[in-house]
Structure 1
Amino acid sequence: MKRTHLPLNGLRVLDAAARHLSFTRAADELAVTPAAVGQQIRALEDTLGVVLFRRTTRGLELTPEGEAGLEALRAGFLQFEEAVRAMQAGQSSKTLTIAAPRDFLAKWLAPRLAEYAKTDPELRFVLLSSDEGLDFTQANLDLAICFTDGKGEHEGVSLGTPSYWTVGVGGGAETVISWPGCPADETKGAGVTVADAGLALDAAAAGFGRATVPALLAEADEAAGRVVRFGEKASANSYWLIAPLPQWRQKKVRALVAALTA
């Protein structure tokens, strides 16, 4: 019999009925009716082509055929329980694997993770760059941060306001600092080109010129007085915390998302 055709529900009912030698008590354990237990046993007998129970004057008895499979069946259920515990072990883990753009990690995420780590000394983080692509299965990710226009196929929540700030130092910073992904109208006549928005922000703070970068990335630098904001414009994209539904439901992921969006 193929594994995909194993009558697992019927086998579970068989185990309960064999332990109690009573369809009524098995039904109480399984929170179903005695009639449902009887139907499951009859269906299992039809599938296996054997009789599993006989009614006698002393009550319900297992047949030799039913008795023959019980030891292996119960060992199998114990193995199932071990498998479930192994799969749930990740829920108790305090390690979070997170992928984010390098500039976002340096400018926004790392300081907040450092603060969050103070709430639990057992917390551990594995931080990966998402600049080269994102694969939740291959990288065994719990959570990712992307600069995008939505959560896509995953669960997610946006961070901050979807807008760009133009920042710099000095009297207006005439030289344009460009980076891959910056608004197209902010690349004309660029005097400096860098690899990402974080480097553009640093270049602006160093006096190279003005950079137009995601607002969330620039907030701390503006608050610290490293740059001055010259303008703001709406953006179709914003930073999103995303994860597939199974990861999103993890207690440790929900707690981190709550902390990052507080």
Structure 2
Amino acid sequence: MKRTHLPLNALRVFDAAARHLSFTRAADELAVTPAAVGQQIRALEDMLGVVLFRRTPKGLELTGEANAGLDALRQGFLQFEESVRAMQAGQSSQSLTIAAPRDFTAKWLAPRLAQYSQQAPDVRFTLVSADGGIDFTEANLDLAIFWADGPGEHEGIALSDPAMVTVAGPASESETRIAWPGCPADEGEAALRLGDAGLAIDAATNGLGRACVPALLAAADLAAGRVRQIGEALPGKQAYWLVAPLPQWRQAKVKAIVAALSAG
């Protein structure tokens, strides 16, 4: 059965005017002008084909037609409010599914989620690999992290500037080039090729050579002294981006974790 179009804004105005029996007080409640209330009431009366208010020497009175529908209308608004609360409760579920490259999860994301969990102990995380690419239309994801030059078709925020650093073991003198898919070095010159930037950092830590990797990914190893930086950081073309389609991006739980992760 086709649903009847409901003029919800006009019905809300009618409810306020009926409670106050005054267009002026209804306007104050709704933060509009009395003229706007009157226009909404007249439009509703024209649509329904009935008169809703009568002016008397004592003020406004509801007509019989208005009284006949008022209780059901107010019950309807209560059900709308319950529906909104139910949807918000579902949206505020304490479960987050995040896709990210495995090396990024190990070296950067997991420690920060652990810190976040101390502040929000009820939050539960499901982490999946984004190494093979992610399709939000097929995966039950709240958020994804990509090594890319922008958010693409989604909403997103870069976690850092696209800076690259070359790292080597603390005492290593090896000049062997370590390459990984997507690294800016010419892989044809590399003597060692690995599956991702995290493995490249670990290889450098063990003295197997030098790796040019995202500065964000190497930050913890540099701070801990597991590797040392060679030369200055260089500008890159890609960065780690937090991304999600707009509906997910608007969720309160996603906004909270995005704020925490992008804070540094």
TM-score bin, normalised by smaller chain? 0.7 to 0.9
Deviations 1:68-108 (A, max 9, x none): 32233222211211122123225654444333221111111
Partner of 1:237: 238
Partner of 1:75: 75
Partner of 2:117: 117
* More divergent stretch after superposition (240-249 vs 22-31): 240-249
- One-letter amino acid of the counterpart of residue 26, structure 1: A
SS for the counterpart of 1:195 is coil
Tell me: CA distance 1:60–1:234, structure 2 relative to 1, closer, same or farther (3 Å): closer
Deviation at 1:44, TM superposition (A): 0.8
In structure 1, how many angstroms separate the alpha carbons of the residues matched to 2:95 and 2:53?
A: 50
| Pairing of 1:35-54 with structure 2 (within 5 A) | 35-54=35-54
Partner of 2:199: 199
Partner of 2:180: 179
Tell me: CA distance 1:133–1:24, structure 2 relative to 1, closer, same or farther (3 Å): same
The alignment's C-alpha RMSD in Å is 3.1
Segments of structure 2 that go 5 or more residues without pairing to the other structure are none
| Pairing of 1:134-153 with structure 2 (within 5 A) | 134-136=134-136, 139=139, 141-152=141-152
Matched-pair contact (CA < 8 Å) for 2:174–2:207: no
Report the TM-score when normalising by structure 1: 0.81
Segments of structure 1 that go 5 or more residues without pairing to the other structure are none
Tell me: CA distance 1:115–1:33, structure 2 relative to 1, closer, same or farther (3 Å): closer
Tell me: CA distance 1:188–1:76, structure 2 relative to 1, closer, same or farther (3 Å): same
Deviations 1:129-154 (A, max 9, x none): 22233455654544432222234455
SS for the counterpart of 2:211 is strand
Tell me: CA distance 1:26–1:110, structure 2 relative to 1, closer, same or farther (3 Å): same
Deviations 1:19-56 (A, max 9, x none): 33333333333233333222211111111222223334
Deviation at 1:253, TM superposition (A): 4.5
In structure 2, how many angstroms separate the alpha carbons of the residues matched to 1:145 and 1:19?
A: 51
Deviations 1:190-236 (A, max 9, x none): 34333221122223334443332212112222333433434553211
SS for the counterpart of 2:188 is coil
In structure 2, how many angstroms separate the alpha carbons of the residues matched to 1:93 and 1:192?
A: 45
Matched-pair contact (CA < 8 Å) for 2:174–2:208: no
In structure 2, how many angstroms separate the alpha carbons of the residues matched to 1:133 and 1:48?
A: 54
Matched-pair contact (CA < 8 Å) for 1:17–1:23: yes
Matched-pair contact (CA < 8 Å) for 2:168–2:210: yes
- One-letter amino acid of the counterpart of residue 39, structure 1: Q
Partner of 1:218: 218
Matched-pair contact (CA < 8 Å) for 1:172–1:230: no
Matched-pair contact (CA < 8 Å) for 1:143–1:247: yes
Tell me: CA distance 1:30–1:167, structure 2 relative to 1, closer, same or farther (3 Å): closer
In structure 2, how many angstroms separate the alpha carbons of the residues matched to 1:4 and 1:67?
A: 20
Deviation at 1:57, TM superposition (A): 5.0
Tell me: CA distance 1:35–1:224, structure 2 relative to 1, closer, same or farther (3 Å): closer
| Pairing of 1:10-49 with structure 2 (within 5 A) | 10-49=10-49
Matched-pair contact (CA < 8 Å) for 1:186–1:212: no
Percent identical: 69
- One-letter amino acid of the counterpart of residue 236, structure 1: K
